Structure 1
């Protein structure tokens, strides 16, 4: 590889910059600068000068980032425009690393709040793997990239969006129905079914809870071809019916399916389904039992490493943690991320970890925003969607003081 004396010269729209091959070699292989080197990280040619038809104001900031690992943005430069330049050069991950620590639920801080432009209440939020997010507003899904710049929205016209989820940073799956008051309405994306809850597994499959003409159950689709590969049917009178939550258990090759809003009122049903032989390998049916203070279950999540399923009810009771509150919770949600459990009650998100799942911290607005309707974690960020119309927050982990990458 080149040494510190191997100078490289750039002409960026008339402005001349000099650096070294060693500095450039700290860029990723798939970056613009990485393409200048061979497999042994030696410059592929001996050009006297490389021309870049890009904004010259941001170029020295990125060179300094490669050389020092520090991100120093002059106050006269736009941070969003710098992110766009970094994306062009293939240095966005360098910027992220220099700007934020890895996701740490105990050190999150509120970075920004956003109010969308769509009318109607928000119904769901999903964080992308790259740190952007998608927000569902009734019939519209609004898309935000890592810089939180809004892209063209997806308008479903007469179709109500039920759920959203990301396959990767560029591809999103949306489940919807044309007329929510009719259970036999369908959406072409899921053949003749109205789709609700979504989940994705490590083998490239999408599962969705479905309603068709006289049919209830859970279907499976291939992420690449979009073709349906399997279906687990449920009869109309079944306690499972149309699952409100589904989750792949990759280690056990089965699917968790849970229904929290059965016609009887307080009843809930949670099952593990083996799609290979269309059988239920485990099932729990709450028929007004007193185990959870006779309150309906509002959410459930499989803790595969601990061989357990965590549930939360309307009284803020967790299956293995007691989080009783004098205030009736709204929109409780459960999520797992990197071995940590997250529980959303009212206007706060609490974090639990360790073998006994003890509470470590919680986050929430000081005022305003209302109860949290949904939250999602991705790309080193936590997004919280509030019940007040079109408001969502972004939480990030700041770098420690005097941190140098």
Structure 2
């Protein structure tokens, strides 16, 4: 039996609820209840005090039940959007999300729904947000969806092509765009994900002069740094670094002679080694370049190029690459979705292609989508045509496939916020995959 002082009364919109501070503690310190009853606030619950909250009582009952049981039951008379609005007020959106679907597991993913985009033409890139939403780039436009998959005002770049897009955090989206000939208006900007307001325009300076540049691939670090490949008019080819909070340029890694950084297709920040993976891949370049940059030492600490070992006509060309810090390796994939691995501990590493046959069988489509790679939760994901393969374990064994017939080949996919988003190329549509919650016993 709970002690008397543990009981708490709320009057929500005229209805009285009685619960315990122990139940309210399940909301966490970042919630409204955490602010009210955390010890640091010196507010001791007392059942003689009734806290009045001028909000919807029906939604409060649902959220209180969620804190008590860990399960979410939404009565038919309560719109889900209304409940989510109230959960946002109380700081319980994460609790609602985690109750709606389970912890991400590639082998248990189920197709939740598909959404047809609003922009004309096909999408070019999709990026999962940290809070379960996503954004989709279509030419000069970026469409943003919250975790309820409601669309926010689109971001329109006035006919400038969006080369890459990414989430700096839950509230801000960064876009890299091409410079229009003679206009000097390319570069990179940060926008509010909810309103589309421009927060920062990131400039490149060299010798105290602002330079025009085209921003390519993007990446982000946990200490609020933004990385972008930059292609300029004169000598500023390379990788730029900006502070996300201030919008100021803090570093620049100039392209070494004979290498290719300004046209990079992919950047990946490695938290453990404090290095940046930079990959320039076929078919953008005839030759592939993969390197690791250490910005502390201003040096390239690891590099590989197929120029060092010229490929035969029927050799496997690298289409995507991803670093896996746990195994000190880089995984690459070719146009047949065959996986290869390079050892980061070797300064002269070569690709060790897997001995097994390709993951996907059957005839190649007339216009195939080149495969993409992702690593999440100790699992490796590889897309090819209309399917995403999930590989698990130390030997990366194929354990499941995610496939949907509608929409054609997958041109891009992204994982974040406990969801996987897959963007199709032949139709302007993307799929949302989620892990179902365990059954209630």
Question: Structure 1 length as normaliser, TM-score?
Answer: 0.89
Aligned to 2:388: 349
Could you tell me which runs of 5 or more consecutive residues in structure 1 were left unpaired when the two chains were aligned.
Answer: none
The whole-number CA distance in structure 1 between the counterparts of 2:402 and 2:178 is 34
Cα deviations by residue, 1:80-114 (Å, 9 ceiling, x for unpaired): 22122111111122222322211111100011111
The whole-number CA distance in structure 1 between the counterparts of 2:398 and 2:248 is 42
Query: Residue 176 of structure 1: CA displacement?
Result: 1.1
Secondary structure of 1:159's aligned partner: coil
Using a 3 Å threshold, how does the CA distance of structure 1 residues 86 and 292 change in structure 2: closer, same or farther?
farther
The whole-number CA distance in structure 2 between the counterparts of 1:252 and 1:23 is 41
The whole-number CA distance in structure 2 between the counterparts of 1:173 and 1:39 is 38
5 Å-filtered alignment, 1:164-243, equals 164-179=165-180, 186-187=186-187, 189-191=201-203, 192-215=212-235, 216-234=237-255, 238-243=259-264
Using a 3 Å threshold, how does the CA distance of structure 1 residues 327 and 297 change in structure 2: closer, same or farther?
farther
Could you tell me which runs of 5 or more consecutive residues in structure 2 were left unpaired when the two chains were aligned.
Answer: 189-200, 204-211, 341-352
User: Quick check: 2:241–2:250 contact (8 Å CA) kept in 1?
Assistant: yes
Aligned to 1:330: 369
User: Quick check: 2:385–2:410 contact (8 Å CA) kept in 1?
Assistant: yes
Using a 3 Å threshold, how does the CA distance of structure 1 residues 59 and 184 change in structure 2: closer, same or farther?
closer
Aligned to 2:276: 255
User: Quick check: 1:3–1:22 contact (8 Å CA) kept in 2?
Assistant: no
Query: Residue 235 of structure 1: CA displacement?
Result: 6.6
User: Quick check: 2:337–2:382 contact (8 Å CA) kept in 1?
Assistant: no
Secondary structure of 2:71's aligned partner: coil
Using a 3 Å threshold, how does the CA distance of structure 1 residues 235 and 7 change in structure 2: closer, same or farther?
closer
Aligned to 1:140: 141
1:375 aligns with 2:413: yes
Query: Residue 155 of structure 1: CA displacement?
Result: 1.4
The whole-number CA distance in structure 2 between the counterparts of 1:74 and 1:335 is 38
Aligned to 2:104: 103
Secondary structure of 2:163's aligned partner: strand
User: Quick check: 1:196–1:208 contact (8 Å CA) kept in 2?
Assistant: yes
The number of residue pairs the alignment matches comes to 400
The whole-number CA distance in structure 1 between the counterparts of 2:4 and 2:69 is 14
Query: Residue 234 of structure 1: CA displacement?
Result: 2.4
Aligned to 1:92: 93
User: Quick check: 2:408–2:427 contact (8 Å CA) kept in 1?
Assistant: no
Aligned to 1:122: 123
Please provide the CA RMSD for this pair: 2.8
